């Protein structure tokens, strides 16, 4: 009988030196992903997001949607339930397996594609009305070249009037206010505690603590909002609107997240 070895997160001797776009493959290990899904109640997540993505997609007449960062399937499944026709992409096989299982439990069959964003058109030839890249996923790319490559691939799988919806954590706040005023983010009440453990211009290392005291990390690139908006324009998107925490009036308060809606045409 084959014994399955349990994966552990491995950042080597100097975790803050791990700044590599391929490292996401080793970060979303089973224990972390399962705990996250178990504690972050999908119903609560749907409620907090509201109808923002569904409404935006409908306003743009989207039907065929590519979920570029499927993860455990939250958005893919929600969009299928809302009547969209979804292709679910992720660069991690483990994540796609988990998403497929989650969908099966809800009587849905996911149409999954294993692909890295940077070489998306190698595996995806079809054109879509919309591409979504949500849940602070774009932050996993560590070089500007990789970011440009991924955005250019998203651009090219869109139909001429397609839209890209991409979200990001508000890193400006963390970078500008500095490490001393670091913010703790609580998900699902007090259940999951996330805080930046180390921050510089090229790395935001977050520590995630669960109620059973287990601790996981993610190394991410701290994307500035205006930098992402500039990149989107530079790869060819014509019109970029940025929302804060699902509202357009973000300049009044500091939101935790930004959502960019970029039009190809």
Shortest distance (Å) from residue 88 CB to ligand SAM: 10
Contact track, ligand SAM, 64-103, x by CB under 6 A: -----x-xx-xx--------------xxx--x--------
Shortest distance (Å) from residue 61 CB to ligand SAM: 23
User: Is 69 assigned to a binding site?
Assistant: yes
Shortest distance (Å) from residue 251 CB to ligand SAM: 25
Q: For ligand SAM, give the closer residue by CB, 71 or 222.
A: 71
- Given the residues 78, 140, 147, 260, the one annotated as active site: 140
Among 56, 88, 102, 136, binds ligand SAM (CB under 6 A): 136
Q: Does 117 engage in binding with ligand SAM (CB under 6 A)?
A: yes
250 is an active site residue: no
Q: For ligand SAM, give the closer residue by CB, 141 or 199.
A: 141
CA 112 vs CA 70, 134, 138: distances in Å: 9, 16, 19
208 is an active site residue: no
CA 50 vs CA 45, 54, 244: distances in Å: 8, 9, 14
* Cβ atoms 168, 243 nearer than 8 A: no
Q: For ligand SAM, give the closer residue by CB, 51 or 176.
A: 51
Q: For ligand SAM, give the closer residue by CB, 70 or 242.
A: 70
Q: What is the DSSP string of the chain?
A: -PPPPPP-----S-GGG---TTTHHHHS-HHHHHHHHHHS-HHHHHHHHTTHHHHHHHHTT--EEEETT-TTSHHHHHHHHTT-EEEEEES-HHHHHHHHHHHHHTT----EEE--GGGHHHH--S-EEEEEE-SS-GGG--SHHHHHHHHHHHHHTEEEEEEEEEEEE-HHHHHHHTGGGPPPEEETTTTEEEEEEEEETTEEEEEEE-TTS-EEEEEE----HHHHHHHHHHTT-SEEEEEETTBS-GGGS--SEEEEEEE--
186 is an active site residue: yes
Shortest distance (Å) from residue 212 CB to ligand SAM: 21
Q: Does 28 engage in binding with ligand SAM (CB under 6 A)?
A: yes
Q: Does 24 engage in binding with ligand SAM (CB under 6 A)?
A: yes
- Binding-site annotation: residue ranges: 28, 36, 45, 69, 90, 116-117, 134
What residues line the site for ligand SAM (CB under 6 A)? Answer: 24, 28, 69, 71-72, 74-75, 90-92, 95, 116-118, 134-137, 140
- Catalytic positions: 28, 135, 140, 169, 186
- Binding-site annotation: residue ranges for S-adenosyl-L-methionine: 28, 36, 45, 69, 90, 116-117, 134
């Amino acid at each position: 009988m084959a014994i399955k070895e349990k994966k552990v997160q491995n950042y080597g001797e100097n975790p803050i030196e791990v700044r590599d776009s391929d490292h996401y493959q080793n970060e979303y290990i089973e224990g972390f992903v399962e705990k996250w899904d178990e504690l972050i109640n999908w119903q609560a997540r749907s409620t907090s997001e509201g109808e923002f993505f569904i409404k935006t997609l409908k306003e743009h007449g989207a039907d065929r949607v590519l979920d570029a960062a499927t993860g455990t399937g939250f958005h893919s499944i929600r969009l299928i339930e809302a009547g969209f026709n979804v292709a679910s992409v992720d660069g991690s096989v483990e994540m796609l397996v988990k998403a497929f299982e989650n969908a099966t439990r809800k009587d849905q069959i996911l149409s999954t594609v294993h692909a890295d964003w940077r070489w998306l058109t190698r595996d995806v030839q079809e054109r879509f009305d919309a591409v979504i890249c949500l849940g602070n996923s774009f932050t996993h790319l560590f070089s500007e070249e990789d970011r440009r490559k991924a955005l250019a691939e998203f651009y090219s799988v869109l139909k001429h009037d397609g839209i890209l919806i991409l979200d990001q954590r508000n890193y400006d706040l963390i970078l500008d206010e500095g490490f001393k005023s670091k913010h703790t983010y609580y998900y699902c009440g007090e259940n999951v505690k996330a805080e930046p453990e180390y921050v510089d211009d090229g790395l935001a290392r977050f520590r995630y603590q669960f109620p059973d005291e287990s601790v996981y990390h993610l190394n991410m690139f701290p994307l500035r909002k205006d930098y992402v908006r500039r990149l989107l324009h530079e790869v060819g998107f014509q019109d970029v609107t940025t929302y804060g925490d699902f509202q357009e009036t973000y300049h009044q308060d500091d939101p935790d997240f930004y959502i960019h809606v970029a039009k190809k045409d």
